[in-house]
Amino acid sequence: MLLRGGGVSACNAAVGESHRNCHFSRLIRRPVEKTAGICFYGRAQRAHSLRVTAVATGEQKSKAQEPSYQPSLADRLRLGSLTEDGLSYKEKFIVRCYEVGINKTATVETIANLLQEVGCNHAQSVGFSTDGFATTTTMRQLHLIWVTARMHIEIYKYPAWSDVVEIETWCQSEGRIGTRRDWIIKDYANDEVIGRATSKWVMMNQDTRRLQKVTDDVRDEYLVFCPKTLRLAFPEENNASLKKIAKLDDPAKYSKVGLVPRRADFDMNQHVNNVTYIGWVLESMPQEIIDSHELQTITLDYRRECQHDDIVDSLTSPELETASELHGSNGSPTAANDENESLQFLHLLRLSNDGSEINRGRTEWRKKPTKR
């Protein structure tokens, strides 16, 4: 819920439910900004200066609200904090040179990593565990962790090297077996929304690897830090984040086989990290699309965990409506009449040995802008 984890599908649950271009140049001279009573800079802050407004229920305090709370060095230097009502978290990030790709802009993997980072920092700010699982007290007692069931990311404008983005995140309940986390991504220079994302998480027993219902005890522990009324990053009716991903027909038009998890692909939860799956999905995209288009939307359904010795195949085919547009053009995905058309693709990650489905995905691509 509040942090990253290996992906499994909610469909496999054995629980009986279906379930700004701105630069922080001379950063230390920038006026001190305060949000929710938290000073971003300055090493002489006292614990009482990091209070946040009590959440509505008053039943539980965030870590920063505790009288004995002493901020760590990371807390003092991090450009993030809970919002004034304590029900969401915002943090600013500078895009580093090693986070941009061939388009000289941040890659989708960079965006996904930042989403994970802000979710992790949100979890720590409300006092959840810092061991990588963002678990509540009850969850730790019962050996329960959160794992990703679905991730949906839309990027309207990619930030470039040295741009500053501000990401806001919050979490909410999602039925009896899971929770959701949403994000809003803004260009800090002009407050423009440049991306949105949402995700669904389910609870899994760390020992048995089986999914479990979210108990009332666990729900009570984290709902105190959630908005009291439904707040969605994608409030539009029938938005793309709700679209079911059709199964890709075999044989696929494009493929990349023999992908193997590297040691660096495993996160602190000892899972292949969610962002690795994004990279694997894109490995089978045709090069002509990579050259002419940029990723606008990606949706991934996580259906099973990938182990360190697994071999993975990445399969990609145009979605039906895209395929019909390509008819009569020798199947070239770049042949199109409309310069502003978008292309949609279906994706499948599966085990090479038995074809077991690991991940099902859908992507949408737009023409690259002519000038950066």
Residues with a catalytic annotation lie at 269, 271, 306
3-state percent helix, strand, coil for the chain, nearest multiple of 5: 20, 30, 50
* Half-sphere exposure of residue 105: CA atoms within 13 angstroms, side-chain side: 17
182 vs 226: CA distance, rounded Å? 11
| Residue type present at position 289 | I
Cβ–Cβ under 8 Å, residues 359 and 148: no
* Helix pair 274-283, 108-125: axis angle to 10 deg: 170
What is the secondary structure of 236-291 as a DSSP string?
A: STT-GGGPPPPPPPSSPSEEEEEE---GGGB-TTSSB-HHHHHHHHHHTS-HHHHH
CA dihedral 167, 303, 1, 211 (to 10 degrees): 180
Strand ranges (E), the chain: 34-35, 38-39, 80-82, 89-94, 144-155, 164-174, 178-187, 192-205, 211-212, 254-259, 293-302, 312-318, 342-351, 357-367
Query: How far separated are the first and last CA of the chain, in Å rounded?
Result: 36
| Residue type present at position 22 | C
9 vs 171: CA distance, rounded Å? 19
241 vs 72: CA distance, rounded Å? 37
SS3 93: strand
| Residue for token pair 């000892």 | 270
